[in-house]
Chains A and B, each alone.
Chain A
Amino acid sequence: MSSQLASSHDRITTPIENQWVSLLKRLLRHRIAMVSLAILLVMFGASLLAPQIAPFPRDRIAIDAIRLAPMEREPDGQLHLLGTDHLGRDYFTRLLYAARVSMLVAILVSVISTLIGIVLGLLAGYFGGWVDIAISRTLEFVSTFPGLTILLIVASILLRNENFIVFPRFMDRFVAALFAISEREAKQVTLIILTLSLLGWTGTARLMRGLTLSVREQPYIEAARALGVSNITIMLRHILPNAAPPMIVDFTLGINGALVGEAGLSFLGFGIQDPTPTWGNTLAFAKDYMLVSPWMPLVAGFPILIVSLAINYLGDGLRDAIDPRSKV
């Protein structure tokens, strides 16, 4: 038998017909999702290259050119593509830098809360019993928190007293480098990320628990158990991949939730503080002048609208691509 195999061994190279590849192919055929993805990539790429692209320094103030309309020029002839804000800072520049903060915050929040949700949901669904009771009750407890109120309390106590917030130094440095902001601003950003994450995992955990409950009863899980596969391996190798598609959609839409959440918080003035630009706080200042300069909130709110829509469409596309019954 084995001599036969020696010859056949070389032939064992049929092209891998991977399910993820076919998923990607289906997604590539989804036009709106692809347009959305392109928009997101361009926005994200531009935000990372903000220092190179931006026509002005981030916090440069043009005293004699406040609240300029888009395409207006300063008296000395410098063009402001999207106009200037109430302090005379270039909107295009501010929004580019803000994109980096807002989008990265949104992605990080979704990553962290999805991770928490997956781990807890998997444990609760797989083991059941008192593990499930403990996790589910905690989950229900957390999800009854009035999120906004908690955020406001945390923000109002801590954001004004950054020095009391003790994060390890390397964390501040890491966040500062990632977001291209100062270490003082990094503390605020870290705090916002953690607060949003710790409030945002409940939906994911609930979804993951439900998926685990249904996958756990599949005969192939029983088969794995009968083969002597350990619990941790069953969870990671058997349950997680089968629960992955809906979790990817959930993760995508979670980014959107975090984006709007952060923007809302900043809009209320309790998020990341000026001068660190975010889309939320930029919009917040713009709204005060909407009666005299109506274009200001439109300019400042536009990126939120576009990115939020794009993420939603991408999520829809993913959902379609994942569902094997929909032949896109």
Chain B
Amino acid sequence: MAEHLETSKPLLEVKNLKKFFPIKRGFLSKTIGHVKAVDGVSFFVREGETLGLVGESGSGKTTTGRMIVRAHDPSAGSIIFRDRDMGEVDIATLEKSQLKRLRRNIQMIFQDPYSSLNPRMTLLDIVGEPLLVNRIASGKQLTHRVAELLEVVGLRPQYMNRYPHAFSGGQRQRIGIARALAMNPQLIVCDEPVSALDVSVQAQILNLLQDLQRQFRLTYLFVAHDLSVVEHISDRVAVMYVGKIAESATTSKLFTTPKHPYTEALLSAVPKPDPRIRTEPMILSGEVADPANPPSGCYFHPRCRYKIDKCVSEAPVLREIEPDHFVSCHRAEELKLTGAFGPVGVQAPKHSDSQERVEMEKGSV
């Protein structure tokens, strides 16, 4: 699968995407500043693959996902989508009248399966709604298609006259997935689709998503904060920090040889399924930078243990240091960072003094 992915052209290409929310104060609602929720994000998603978009809360990953379905209007940048019907379009500047056509081919799965389904609509109404508003099907045909969709996501079609409250969280998320599949979309933006579910149910939903991807050649943009989930489902991963992409690479590369200190810190927090491996998670000092008032240079520098003077004065750009491995760090080449899954059974080195560790790593280069 990886081979053909390398060659296929990106289905979705996001370039320098920005979203600034104005901060308004006072009697006349004067704008006194902007929250730079998304500040120059670039990535691409190839047809048939899953791109995991990870980051802490407030990193702008959800906002990015919402701009792609145009739930938010971007402040700047472009979102090039190769639409099946309309050809290459820039979602960022698409007219309202064309958005409806676009939404046939880009759908969304939402985080909360409880509140993202209208409690006063039956499954038939919920799953059939996209078909109805796009005038694809109605009447018996609609019932038929909804039954088909429910079966595809593993629900019994007999339930279609029931209301969402009669279903469990996992079943509800299946309903949400059926709704997203209704239009037979090219791209599905999954906004933390499993983070509200029990771990056992998470796995079922993730497997369902993977099965559906194979069955319908779907492309996913998978927004999440849970790294083990992302690792399981993604072909490639992009890490966001305060509105920017810190690093993006194929999943295996990112998890074994991270090139950005923030990625390293994130990975160190992933619990390892082997009690013999004892590592100390790197506790980052300080707070996540305020997107309304970001620090100078690299946004991560106040918390970075490897920072040099250049990091304070100059913002790094996202650059490709290896094929398909993009990093935005001045020291990406020289640092040797620890991945998530070190050699099993080998005790990872313990270091309390971060300074000492950098020395050691410098020495080993």
Contact = CB atoms under 8 A, between A and B. Distances in A.
Interface string B102-115: 01100110111001
B173 to A, nearest CB: 12
Interface residues of A, number: 32
A226 B133 contact: no
A1 B111 CA distance: 29
Contact of B147 (A9, A16, A233, A242): A9
B20 interface: no
B103 A2 contact: no
Q: Which of B118, B143, B163 has the most CB of A within 10 A?
A: B118
Nearest to B133: A229
Report whether over half of chain A's contact residues are helix, strand or loop; otherwise say mixed: helix
B161 A14 contact: yes
B134 to A, nearest CB: 7
Interface in B152-168: 152, 157-163, 166
A228 interface: yes
A223 B176 CA distance: 9
B148 A14 contact: no
Given A2-B148, A223-B116, A228-B100, A17 B107 contact: no
Contact of B120 (A15, A19, A219, A223): A19
B49 interface: no
Interface string A57-72: 0000000000000000
Interface in B200-252: none
Contacts of A225: 71
A17 B130 contact: no
Contacts of B121: 237-238, 241
B117 interface: yes
Given A9-B144, A226-B108, A228-B100, A14 B162 contact: yes
Contact of B110 (A11, A223, A241): A223
B179 A220 contact: no
Contact of A16 (B112, B151, B161): B161
B99 interface: yes
B69 interface: yes
A144 interface: no
Contact of A242 (B118, B122, B134): B118
A222 interface: yes
B47 interface: no
B147 A220 contact: no
A228 B104 contact: yes
B147 A219 contact: no
B110 A219 contact: yes
B129 interface: yes
B119 interface: yes
A8 B107 contact: no
A219 B71 contact: no
A17 B129 CA distance: 20
A227 B115 contact: no
A218 interface: yes
Contacts of B179: 223, 227
Q: Which of A12, A17, A238 has the most CB of B within 10 A?
A: A12
Interface of A: 1-2, 4-5, 8-9, 11-17, 19, 218-220, 222-230, 233, 237-238, 241-242, 244
The 7 closest A-B pairs by CB, nearest first: A228-B103, A241-B120, A219-B116, A220-B118, A228-B100, A219-B115, A227-B130
Interface of B: 69, 71, 99-100, 103-104, 107-108, 110-112, 115-122, 125, 129-130, 133-134, 143-144, 147-148, 151-152, 157-163, 166, 176, 179
